[in-house]
Amino acid sequence: MSERFAAIDVGTNSVLLLVAERGADGRFVAVDEDMEITRLGEGVDRTRRLTERAVAETVEAVRAFAGRARSLGAKEIAVVTTSAARDAENGAEFLRRLRDEAGVEVEILSGEKEATFTYASAAADFGPGSLWAIDIGGGSTEVIGGAGGLIRFCRSFDVGAVRLTERCIASDPPTPEELGRVERAVREALSALEAPEPETELVGIAGTVTTLCAIWLGLDAYDGRRVHGRRMPIAAVEELERKLARMTLDERLRLPGLPPRRADVIVAGATILRVAMQVLGFSDVIVSDKGVRWGLLEARFGRGTQS
């Protein structure tokens, strides 16, 4: 009988659930996936503390997801958290509440470990050639490069969609000066990276990239099957960035394909993606609907691991 396992990724902006079945060949097939945007990292860049509202919503989302995973027969559940909990002074208290109220033990991933899981999920679907992956999160952006499924470098930068929105954007819609500050922050952060080898592919992971793709495709409701594996040219990213930056928040809230709780940070996210593609010299990006949770599942419960 096939075994089921679950992975929960507690990010700066969202909580993601994956319940998957491990077949006889060792490969995982999704049984259930879901996402709740709880904005755990709201204000952390400024205060270095998680707010009570954000903690309560996130703990409840994890509790509900863990219960769902168990009801679906998950043998074990792996839970990780990333940028916001790394940066917050009260991160340990957050982990205690997750243990006591949600019944899960949580690991805080380093930026490098987060990048490793990201790359594993990208390489599984889009390898084995030269491959770079970019994971634009709420608090940080990871860039990972490798080939043949092996990582050659991984870097984590404190330039996420939530962090740069809070740092740089106060107007509605954003002013050119504010957008310029976002762009300069991204260019400065990525300036130390060397150019990729010829024929290298870029895979874009996480909610910013998948949301931009859904808007580009004109999807009324998000459909990961239509998003995953789609190639999005840089011209489309540039046009989306211009379109979104001209809109007020109220206009973005009515835009099909854009989750309401992502509407205030999507402009900064689009700028991060566009600037990264320009700096690194990529003409298009392959969109991935997977990410840390898939790499985590493979690392914890995949073939050759002890479950």
pLDDT per residue rounded down to tens, the chain (307 residues)? 589 999 999 988 899 999 999 988 888 999 999 999 999 988 888 899 999 999 999 999 999 999 999 999 999 999 999 877 888 899 999 999 999 999 999 998 887 888 888 888 898 889 889 999 999 988 889 899 999 878 999 888 989 999 999 999 999 999 999 999 999 999 999 998 998 999 999 999 988 999 999 999 999 888 889 999 999 999 999 999 999 999 999 999 999 889 998 999 999 999 999 999 999 999 999 999 998 899 899 889 986 565 4
3-class SS letters over 188-227: HHHCCCCCCCCCCEEEEECHHHHHHHHHHHCCCCCCHHHH
b or e along 85-122 (b: 16 or more beta carbons within 10 Å of the residue's beta carbon)? bbbbebbeebbebbeeebebebebbebebbbbbbbbbb
Count CA atoms within 13 Å of residue 75 on its CB side: 13
β strands within the chain, DSSP E: 3-10, 14-22, 28-37, 74-81, 106-108, 131-136, 141-147, 150-157, 201-205, 231-233, 284-288
Count CA atoms within 13 Å of residue 116 on its CB side: 10
Nearest to 280, CA basis, from 186, 169, 149, 175: 186
| pLDDT of res. 99 | 95
| pLDDT of res. 304 | 59
Residue 142 is encoded by which pair of tokens? 């990871």
Give the C-alpha separation, 8 to 58, whole Å: 11
Residue 28, SS3?
strand
* Cross-sheet strand order for the sheet of 28-37: 28-37, 14-22, 3-10, 74-81, 106-108
At position 45, the amino acid (one-letter code) is: D
DSSP structure class, residue 110: P
User: CA 302, 303, 306, 307 torsion: positive or negative?
Assistant: positive
Can you say whether residue 279 is alpha, beta or left, with left for phi > 0 and alpha for psi between -120 and 50 degrees? Answer: alpha
**Whether 305 contacts 22, CB under 8 Å:** no
| pLDDT of res. 84 | 77
